[in-house]
Amino acid sequence: MRNLDALGAALAARSEPLIVFFRDDDAGWADDKLSILCETMSEAGVDLDVAVIPAALDSSTATNIARLSRQFATKLNFHQHGYAHSNHQAEGRNCEFGSDRDIEQQRRDIGLGQRRLQDTLGTLLDPVFTPPWNRCTGDTCKALAELDFRAISRIAGSTNIEHFGLTDISVAIDWQKKRRGVPITWSEFCQYAQHYLLNSDVVGVMLHHEHLSDSDLSRLRRFIACLRDSGKVGFRSMLQIVDSGDLEQKGDRKCN
């Protein structure tokens, strides 16, 4: 616990409070593990924003999401995660909405995914888009703005792109952070998280339920308790943060 004690003490010494949100990617895959994460976050009293892969939303996932949304209504939020989570780049890093596809192709896929999710999730769906692998282009944002999305979520350090009026609500902390392909230790994770938690006013944590072990969930509970006990952290959903306008007002101190 020494690592969390140090993080908690550093947070408690912050002069200003901060907002933290949790984004979980890849709903449509590993339904059972999504349920376990939702229960964990609900018990912790923290909102969870779940990014759903439209093409992976079959009837069993849809049934599971409907059950989860009834069970955890006020703490569970859904938004769109690409279309099929497929790579379309001929070269370089994986990207579903990258430079190898023009805006027409991107708009068609985003629109298809949006309709599929709206048909199934209805009013549960928030106008937020997380591109697979946290990568997309300015054309993606242009298409999203045309389709009435309000926010885009990538990860801190992503390349600069034009946002076309969308709010940038990117995550900063990757729960399964690796360096040179190797998962960092818990001690390293706490230091990595502390950097963002001390230097930003809005901080997002990225989870992937499919890869969360029992040990991860135990640490996640303790991490959330540490943030709460610091007395400096407020937890919000992504759309609550977008609606608050805090990301625009915080300027260059925001997480990305």
Interaction site with Zn ion (CB under 5 A): 25-26, 132
Nearest approach in angstroms of CB 228 to Zn ion is 28
- Cβ proximity to Zn ion, 26 vs 139, nearer residue: 26
CA distance 12 to 7: 9
What phi and psi values does residue 93 have, to the nearest 5 degrees?
A: -75, 150
DSSP annotation of 136: B
Measured from the CB atom, is 26 or 168 closer to Zn ion?
A: 26
Residue closest to Zn ion, measured at CB: 25
Dihedral (Cα; 8, 245, 124, 38), 10-degree rounding: -10
Tell me how far, at minimum, the Cβ of 233 lies from Zn ion, in Å.
26
CA distance 240 to 71: 20
Q: How far is the CB of 26 from Zn ion (least distance, A)?
A: 4
Smallest distance, Å, CB 51 to Zn ion? 7
CA dihedral of 156, 61, 33, 189, whole degrees rounded to 10: 0
Nearer to Zn ion (CB atom), residue 64 or residue 191: 64
User: Residue 145 and residue 143: Cα distance in Å, rounded?
Assistant: 5
Q: How far apart are CA 53 and CA 208, in angstroms?
A: 13
Comparing CB distances to Zn ion, the nearer of 136 and 190 is 136
Angle between helices 2-12 and 186-199 (to 10 degrees): 10
Q: How far is the CB of 2 from Zn ion (least distance, A)?
A: 33
Question: What minimum distance in Å lies between the beta carbon of 81 and Zn ion?
Answer: 6
DSSP string, 52-94: E-GGG--HHHHHHHHHHHHHTGGGEEEEE--SS-----SSSS-
Cβ proximity to Zn ion, 7 vs 26, nearer residue: 26
| Residue (19 or 21) nearer to Zn ion, CB | 21
